[in-house]
Amino acid sequence: MSRHPQLLTTPSGASPVETALWCAGKGWPVHPLVPGRKIPPANCLRCRYQNHTPKGCSCFAAGRWCHGFHAATTDLDRIRSWWAARPAFGVAVSCGPARVVVLDVDAHTSVLPSRNRILPGIPIHPSIDLNGLENGFHTLALLAAYRGQPNPSADENTLRVQTASGGMHIWYSLPEGSHLRSSSGAGANAALAWQVDVRAEKGYVVAPFTYTKNGAYQPLMPAVEPAPLPAWLLTELARTGHVHAASADHRQAPPALSRCSEIQALTRLVETVEACATAPAGTGFSEKLNRAAYTAGGLVAAGRLSHAQAVQRLTRAAELARPMQSAKNLRTIHDGLSAGANRPLHRKGRS
């Protein structure tokens, strides 16, 4: 494997096994794909016809690739043996254990769906002209503009891969403690935006430099590593239900939202934010949202509420009350959470 050290810098022109080893060298578990396709190879006959879960499958210990991303590994010897047996296998990365989230942007020109499906959960006013909006690149740009943020598809600071069909995979690394759900295949309303899916836990993505029958998955320069997921995108993913509060140690998971008086106090503050929906002005909305976010930040810092739970509750309340000022709402939420995090809120008061 004399070429392998060089591939850790750039695997351009590499064989599938070299690409797989390059990914493993970055800590990204890999598994095979059917040659020229985007699906894992079939399970062995035993796994195909017997009813058992991947977790209890003996094939992993035997070194087989059954069960797709469940079998993904960074074990170099196992990778070499897989691709020695099937040199034409493609390469996929299991997103969850790799600690990456990938925005899968499609470029399929098709009939525009109803306005409530373009940016799920965000109402698009009838006065907004949607002429020319045709694919995921457009809807992702629309979401970014709506939030006053840079367009991720133009983010040269993170790994972006042009897909064989003309779309794009935008890779980001996850912040510590964050866990994201995949949305691919879960239905139109589960996406971040129309034609923008999310690949994260229990999902996989075609590795850079992999070839399919439609062409190559080619990284776009200059970045060759995933950048940290921007805070505003984490907030959006919480709003669309992709963030969950699962923790690596469930024994230290935050309590249920109904178990302590401080959580109940936060609930009352959130309700005052939601109540602002009854009037367009004169309700003290910004002050109420900031107060709720400040309280939530203290609970997050004390380990009594997850950041994902806080963002999701606050964003939903703010969108209900003031849907036309989402960018301002997000700034208020982030500022309040950050300020509250400096003073953890324990049962005996703030630190």
- Of 317, 336, 334, 329, the residue nearest 277 (C-alpha): 317
Going by pLDDT thresholds of 50, 70 and 90, the confidence category of residue 5 is very low
Residue 103: name the closest of 45, 154, 52, 58 by CA.
154
Q: Is the pLDDT reported for residue 4 higher than 70?
A: no
For residue 97, is pLDDT > 90?
yes
222 has a pLDDT exceeding 70: yes
Read off the pLDDT of each residue in 208-225 and give the average, rounded to a whole number: 92
Mean of the pLDDT values across residues 47-65?
A: 83
The answer to whether residue 158 scores a pLDDT higher than 50 is: yes
Q: In 3D, which of 230, 234, 209 has the Cα closest to residue 219? A: 209
Tokens of 214: 């439609």
**Chain-centre distance of CA 216, in angstroms?**
23
For residue 245, name the pLDDT band (cuts at 50, 70, 90).
Answer: low
Cis? peptide before 222, omega within 30° of 0: yes
54-58, 98-102, 244-248, 255-259: the lowest-pLDDT one: 255-259
**C-alpha–C-alpha distance, residues 164 and 166, integer Å:** 6
Higher pLDDT among residues 280 and 195, named by residue: 195
**Helices (DSSP H) in 276-325: which residue ranges?**
285-301, 307-321
Residue 56: per-residue pLDDT: 78
Q: How many CA atoms lie within 13 A of 17 on its CB side?
A: 17
- Any idea which of 34-48, 229-243, 317-331 has the lowest mean pLDDT? 317-331
For residue range 161-177, list pLDDT tens digits in order.
999 999 999 999 998 87
pLDDT at 6 over 60: no
Across all residues in the chain, what is the average pLDDT?
84
Max avg pLDDT among 71-75, 146-150, 172-176, 272-276: 71-75
CB 110 within 8 A of CB 215: no
Question: What is the predicted pLDDT for the residue at 319?
Answer: 83
pLDDT at 322: 87
The whole-angstrom distance between residue 256's C-alpha and the CA centroid of its chain comes to 24
Q: What is the pLDDT of residue 8?
A: 40
Q: What is the pLDDT of residues 80-91, one digit of tens each?
A: 999 999 999 999
Domain-wise residue ranges, the chain = 4-94, 99-230, 250-350
Beta bridge partners of 334: none
- pLDDT at residue 256, rounded to an integer: 38
The CA–CA distances, whole Å, from 302 to 154, 269, 306, 348 equal 37, 18, 10, 11
pLDDT for residue 94 is more than 80: yes
Higher pLDDT, 130 or 177: 130
Q: Render pLDDT for 246-289 as a digit per residue (tens, 0 to 9).
A: 433 333 333 333 345 667 888 889 999 989 988 888 889 999 99
Q: Is the pLDDT of residue 336 over 80?
A: yes
Q: Choose the weakest-confidence range: 49-58, 222-231, 268-277.
A: 49-58
Residue 184's pLDDT band, with cuts at 50, 70 and 90, is low
